[in-house]
Chain A
Amino acid sequence: MSPSTTTRRHGARAVALVAGVAAIALLATGCSSSASTDTSTGAAASGSGDKNYAITFLPKNLGNAYFDTSDKGGSKAITEFGGTYAEVGPATAAADAQVSFINTLTQQGVGAIIISADDPTAIGSALNEARAAGTKVVTFDSDTDPQYRDLYINQATADGIAKIEVDLITKQIGDTGEVAILSASANATNQNAWIETMKKELAANHPNVTLVDTVYGNDDDQTSFDKTAALLQSHPNLKGIISPTTVGIAAAARYLQTSQYKGKVALTGLGTPNQMRDYVNDGTVTAFALWNPADLGYLAAYGAKALIDGTITGKEGDKFTAGALGEFTVGKDATVLLGEPFTFTKENIADFNF
């Protein structure tokens, strides 16, 4: 092998590598230049008024049916008031990836970021940097510490969740008989708060209904399934089960569907339409509750608009109108409550996909 041959070969290799990488780079920026045109026209459109209605949703991660639904609701609202909707986010939920996206949005100078936080503090300094640059920050679904955002759209309160579940089960069993609760884990803070409120609600308004047992499925499908079976065996007179966890209610419904108790024992709780669709359609479950994520996104978008307009600042008692959802009042810690949980039944479940 002569030195000159080596040189030529090595040179050719380096040149070809540069060419290859450059081709990729060109390809990449080819995508980007078209996309950046979109942004600039978008910014121009939203800049035609004197308010910057460029509003970007930043969910925990993309490709998540729940956030697809909520962000679609946001998109609907933003179209209504003539703003520019965008959705960006990491492929997998991680706080550091969200920080990179927040930084990018800060640089782009969007009017508002609507974010479901992957971490209540880790994204804080990035959000504050965005706010210092004039961007409004609205959290929804999952909040940050209050000092890092302008507004939090809360999907439901403990009282609201407890009340609707008691209402649903008592209505289904004729307001008399034995009921039981299938919860997540014994030390889940929010579950326990709901259970306490349910007990009070039952004692106060439903004297003929007795809560005979509370069992824990640990938010594990198989454990919840087995606990449901055990519950039905040890309480032959049981008329209803409340499961305030999406894992629990789906497992319990799966057990009921093929058991002798189908149609005899009522089941309700918190579930998602996609998990519960079959059980609702075949009559195993009559009704269950959850908030409507599309409404959540819709309200968050109007909240962002009100902040941009200066209608609200996040002060307690501030009021704003959220399109078709009506008027909302800002509560303590700059929190806006979406309202009562939404009840899913055979009639409306086909409208939802999450």
Chain B
Amino acid sequence: MTISAPADSRTGTRVYAEYGRPFWMRLLLTREMAVIVALILVIVIASLEVRRFGTTTTLGFLLLDVAPILMIALPMTLVIMMGEIDLSVASTLGLSSVLLGILTQAGWPVPVAIVACLVMGLVAGLINGLLVTVVGLPSLAVTIGTLALYRGIAVGLLGTTAVTSFPAFWTGLAQSKFGSTGIPVAMVLVVALIVVFVALLHFTPFGRGIVAIGFSTETAHFSGVHVNRTKVVAFMLTGLIAALAGIYWTFRYGSARGDNAMGLELSVIAAVLLGGVSIFGGKGAIHGVIAGVLLIGVLQSALRLANVSSDVINIITGALLILSVLSPRFLSWFRSLRFRRATPEKQKQ
């Protein structure tokens, strides 16, 4: 072994080399597993240290709170793994919420209004996707624009008023829990989405295409991946799920307002990155993202229960995120130091 691979962790060489490791190592020694271990640690410590944390009530409130973030994080994972980003999700959520409010107020049956909201979500995603692919603009710029645009339409439609009268059946569905287990009924929907997205990302050619695009758009193109089509579909999925989260949000809080979920896009992206998805694309897995969302949710819930002020909670969440994004870079720098020390000896031989 005289040829040394560049230390850059983003090159393909290193990834293929990982397949040389035993199966259990490939399964356990991953970034995703580290987040899962951290999640378990936090849960254990919080259960021991924080009064009233280890209860079904906590579980119920926690899951109700993280459900919209968890939902949107799934398609967001696909988008970020392609090296793109979608900042317009919270605005799409708000627009969907407003649309649901206006349509039900106008006397539409709720199921029909829901379908209309989902179609709106698909269209919102389609606009993002087309601007990124056909027009060729960077997704960061496009979705900053649509973030303002969709939110503007949402607030413009309802102004400062809110629609608050929804059928009790639907609000009950979004708020109720399975008996005394504390598990919200809405989790059925979330779990179904998780199954779909795990299958989509990890077990279909579409999902493999997303990983390929994340590593290199050119290589993916020459390998037969329909780059533009894949990107547009991923953005449409994000719009669709954001609209779905908007419907959940509206029923959960019983209130359709233009400013619903303002700033939620940052919580979603933070959780996705914490879950081990590379912001440069190509790397990530759904189980890591789920653990990332839950880690932030559990940490915030435990700290709130322990009467830690919201500023301190923000500081801790921020520090955690920076640490998690930084750690692979720091470690690769550390490794390159060791590597450099080892190299001269090899050259002597």
A positions within 8 Å CB-CB of B: 1-3, 6-7, 9-14, 16-18, 20-22, 24-29, 31-33, 35-36, 38-40, 62-63, 86, 88-92, 94-97, 99-101, 103-104, 106-108, 119-125
Q: Which chain B residues in 245-264 approach chain A with CB under 8 Å?
A: 249, 253-255, 257, 259-263
State which of B141-149, B230-238, B314-322 sits at the interface with chain A.
B314-322
Would you give the 0/1 interface string for B280-307, flagging 1 where the beta carbon is closer than 8 Å to chain A?
A: 0000000000000001000111111111
Q: Across the interface, which residues of A come within 8 angstroms of B302, CB to CB?
A: 28-29, 32
A26 touches B45 (CB 8 A): yes
Known A-B contacts A21-B41, A24-B316; the reply to A95 vs B52 at CB < 8 A is: no
Q: Across the interface, which residues of B come within 8 angstroms of A17, CB to CB?
A: 31, 34, 38, 324, 327-328, 331
B17 touches A1 (CB 8 A): yes
**Residue from B30, B52, B162, B255 whose CB has the most chain A CB atoms within 10 Å:** B255
Q: Across the interface, which residues of A come within 8 angstroms of B31, CB to CB?
A: 13-14, 17
From the candidates A25, A26, A38, name the one contacting B307 in the complex (CB within 8 A).
Answer: A38
A122 touches B253 (CB 8 A): yes
Q: Nearest chain-B residue to A33 (Cβ)?
A: B49
Q: Across the interface, which residues of B come within 8 angstroms of A39, CB to CB?
A: 51, 306-307
Q: Nearest chain-A residue to B43 (Cβ)?
A: A25
Query: How many residues belonging to B are interface residues under a CB distance threshold of 8 Å?
Result: 71
From the candidates B4, B5, B38, B162, name the one contacting A121 in the complex (CB within 8 A).
Answer: B162
User: B258 → chain A, closest Cβ, in Å?
Assistant: 12
Q: 10 tightest CB-CB pairs across the interface, nearest first?
A: A32-B306, A3-B20, A21-B38, A122-B255, A122-B253, A17-B34, A121-B164, A103-B61, A1-B5, A13-B331
How far is A269 from B180 in the complex, measured between Cα atoms in Å?
A: 54
B262 touches A36 (CB 8 A): no
Q: Across the interface, which residues of A come within 8 angstroms of B41, CB to CB?
A: 18, 21-22, 25
B189 touches A (CB below 8 Å): no
Q: Which chain B residues in 2-35 approach chain A with CB under 8 Å?
A: 4-5, 13-14, 17-18, 20-21, 25, 29-31, 33-35
From the candidates B18, B51, B164, name the one contacting A6 in the complex (CB within 8 A).
Answer: B18
Known A-B contacts A3-B17, A25-B299; the reply to A35 vs B37 at CB < 8 A is: no
B105 touches A (CB below 8 Å): no
From the candidates B5, B162, B308, name the one contacting A31 in the complex (CB within 8 A).
Answer: B308
User: B96 → chain A, closest Cβ, in Å?
Assistant: 15
**Residue from B4, B13, B254 whose CB has the most chain A CB atoms within 10 Å:** B254
From the candidates B20, B37, B61, B175, name the one contacting A125 in the complex (CB within 8 A).
Answer: B175
A35 touches B306 (CB 8 A): yes
A6 touches B17 (CB 8 A): yes
A1 touches B4 (CB 8 A): yes
A29 touches B49 (CB 8 A): yes
From the candidates B65, B319, B335, name the one contacting A100 in the complex (CB within 8 A).
Answer: B65
User: A68 → chain B, closest Cβ, in Å?
Assistant: 13
Q: Nearest chain-A residue to B249 (Cβ)?
A: A96
How far is A123 from B164 in the complex, measured between Cα atoms in Å?
A: 11
Known A-B contacts A36-B306, A38-B307; the reply to A16 vs B253 at CB < 8 A is: no
How far is A32 from B48 in the complex, measured between Cα atoms in Å?
A: 11
B42 touches A119 (CB 8 A): no
